[in-house]
Amino acid sequence: DTEVTQTPKHLVMGMTNKKSLKCEQHMGHRAMYWYKQKAKKPPELMFVYSYEKLSINESVPSRFSPECPNSSLLNLHLHALQPEDSALYLCASSQDRGQQYQPQHFGDGTRLSIL
């Protein structure tokens, strides 16, 4: 088990559905990340939140909508996804970048399948 908790672990949804992925950490980290990982590929950065504000959006389609309600929670709202969006979605967190070097900690991911 990791210190970053993601729910659900698996999600199957149709292209017209609306669902949300959730991520939670209680390590006091102030940066949180969403990554998308396709099979046999490395994680690709999607979004970065720093102090609950969106700091990086890597040109992600608007059908993915991130939200950071507080410093411990990160959501990814999904709507009208396409079959090619099927992937493992990883959440990660890290300490404030202005302080000592700290690595990212990853959750176990949500495996998303779009029918």
Residues that bind another protein (CB under 8 A): 2, 4, 31, 33, 41-45, 48, 50, 55-56, 90, 94, 97, 101-109
Count of all residues that appear for the chain in the document: 115
Q: Which is nearer to another protein, 10 or 16 (CB)?
A: 10
Cβ contacts of residue 20 below 8 Å, gap of 6+? Answer: 75, 76, 77, 78
Q: Which is nearer to another protein, 82 or 113 (CB)?
A: 113
Calpha distance 47→111 (Å, rounded)? 18
Question: Considering only CA atoms, which of 105, 4, 94, 90 is closest in space to residue 51?
Answer: 94
Q: Give me Rg for the CA atoms of the chain.
A: 14
Quote the least distance from Cβ 26 to another protein, whole Å: 17
The minimum distance between CB 76 and another protein, in angstroms, equals 16
20 sits in which H/E element: strand 18-25
User: What is the nearest approach in angstroms of another protein to the Cβ of residue 98?
Assistant: 9
CB nearer another protein, residue 83 or residue 101:
101
Of 57 and 82, nearer to another protein (C-beta) is 57
| Shortest Å distance, C-beta 35 to another protein | 8
Identify the bridge partners of residue 44 per DSSP, sorted by sequence position.
36
